[in-house]
Amino acid sequence: MAKVKDLLSKANKVFAAKGKKRLEVNLKEDKVSDEDINKFMLGPTGNLRAPTMVIGETLLIGFNQELYRELLG
């Protein structure tokens, strides 16, 4: 959990994918519960999901090809 809080403290935006489900959060403007973020950031064992990337102040978690195309071109 310390890794999650550390990553979130440095990010302005979070894009997370879990299968076809996606979570897009602007941490400066949107209100989202820790439970919702943890659901997307953590795997069934409680570890941070892979892949996890930090791109500037954006946190990208999980794999979704459509999301990667939108964000990375």
For residue 52, CA distances in Å to 22, 48, 68 come to: 14, 8, 12
Question: What domain count does the chain have?
Answer: 1
Domain that holds residue 20: 2-72
The beta-strand segments (E) located in the chain are 13-18, 21-26, 52-55, 58-61
CA separation (Å) from 67 to 6, 36, 45? 23, 19, 24
Q: How many residues does the chain have?
A: 73
Res 12: pLDDT: 95
Residue 1: the pLDDT is 66
pLDDT of residue 11: 94
pLDDT along the chain (73 residues), means of 10: 83 91 92 84 89 94 92 89
pTM of the model: 0.84
